[in-house]
Structure 1
Amino acid sequence: MLNEPVLTTRPEDGWDIPLLVWRADAPLQAVSSAPLGGGIGVRRWVVNATVPMSYHRDDPADHLAGLADRLGLAGPGIGLLTGVDVAEVVARADTGVRVWATIGLGTPVWAAAPAPAAPAQRVGTVNIVAYVPAALGDAALVNAVATATEAKAQAIWELGLPATGTPTDAVTVLCPADGPVEPYGGPRSTWGAPLARAVHAAVRDGGAASCVPWSDRWTG
């Protein structure tokens, strides 16, 4: 079981900057595109950390590992970064699937864009963390990432944005490491369907709110 996230802060550059921490009661199987703990494997925790919009470190995995160490998080885990205030996380659930999303749509882009986004555009990140209460095989985990991404893109389209996401979105899906293995994670599968609905609701509802970058609250 993945516990509800705990909101805490860390001192950095003279500010108390927020971050969310999820802890698992037992090791979970996971798939993630996060800079720390990405790929497929057993994970014990997840961190989603706010960073200022001026963030320019080129070692995000090391940065996140340091944050995890200061939090006393042991074993392998997953670390995500975002420019939005993670205190505004949106949580949704459907048929036992739970989803948490932090939504920054400052740089909406089409995935198949003809040219890179202009450098002057604001940064935005949609980070999705999902827990499925049934063991998923590796192929089903990969399919679940695709399902979550499709649901995110549907929500963004319904919000009226000409985009499928932002350049820095990340998805993490976790599930029990033991038990009968589900082979499918597509949008019409037993667990992919509620995953899609929960992700869609979280991104739609969170994206409809005004998502102000965390650092803008201080810099104006």
Structure 2
Amino acid sequence: MIERHPGVLVWRLPEPLLAISSGPHGGGLGVRHWALNATVPKDYARTDPGVHVAEIAADLGLRGPGTGLLTAVDVRDVVVETDGGVRSWVTTGIGAHPTWAAGPPAEWLPEVGTINAVCVLPVRLADAALVNAVATVAEAKAQALGEAGVPGTGTVTDAVVLLCPADGPVEPYGGPRSVIGSALARTVHRAVHTGISLERAGTGTGVVTSNARPTTMPGDGDDRRWP
């Protein structure tokens, strides 16, 4: 499903999927034929990121409606996690200045840092469940950041794309204790943890990690361990 091009990760979908996206191009809720996550320079200054994504898509021959994200992270450092039929690809860049969601008004823009997540779900989620699942991603990300000692809940440019079948039996829930939502939360949590480690070590370029390390969630017993 995923293609790796210089500076770009592409999901050229074999069949259109229902998406909910906060991306600058193709954001919102609707059927999408492709998704992408592209690296931009740390001094990126374009004021039309949606147009930029469309240009990248055209250069790659992507057709039909799609959605795209941009990041200053080298997308070769994507971390891939799977759980319960959910697959998540996350690029993590905290930069020097993470931000609190409920912090005071900012008088300046923090240094570049972005956490982008593209997640494919195995079943159709109801529209409301997709909205709930976006919140689940944010909660899992914030949990990973807190456990890693990061003083913030994310960055000002974090984005998410969730993709699921457009048809089939509808799953009504996407929260962190639902079947799909819990698997989604675990994949994002693990991926962000690993991404933080790559950024801190400065050794991530070119590394793609899939279920890289055993993870026990706080409060879980020995019977709740994921590869």
TM-score with structure 1 setting the length: 0.88
Deviation at 1:105, TM superposition (A): 0.3
- 1:108-135 CA deviation, whole Å, 9 max, x = no partner? 110011131644x421000000011000
8 Å contact from structure 2 (residues 93, 199) kept in 1: no
Note the residue ranges of structure 1 that are not aligned, 5 or more in a row: 10-17, 215-220
Letter in 2 for 1:6: E
Choose which of 35, 41, 52 in structure 1 pairs with 2:24. Answer: 35
1:67-146 map, 5 Å: 67-106=56-95, 107-116=97-106, 118-119=108-109, 121-146=110-135
Does the alignment pair 1:154 with 2:151? no
1:109·1:117 contact (CA, 8 Å) conserved in 2?
A: no
> CA offsets per residue over residues 104-163 of structure 1, 9 Å max, x none?
0013110011131644x4210000000110001100100010001100000000110111
Q: Distance in 2 between matches of 1:118 and 1:63?
A: 24
Unmatched tracts of structure 2, length 5 or more: 205-227
Superposition RMSD in Å: 1.4
Shift of 1:181: 0.6
The structural deviation recorded for 1:31 is 0.2
Give the aligned residue type for 2:86. Answer: V
Counterpart position of 1:165: 154
The share of aligned pairs that are identical, in percent, is 57
Moved over 2 A (4+): none
Q: Name the structure 2 match of 1:7.
A: 4
1:188 paired residue among 167, 177, 192: 177
Displacement of 1:88: 0.5
Paired positions, count: 201
User: Partner amino acid for 1:154?
Assistant: Q
Structure 2 length as normaliser, TM-score? 0.86
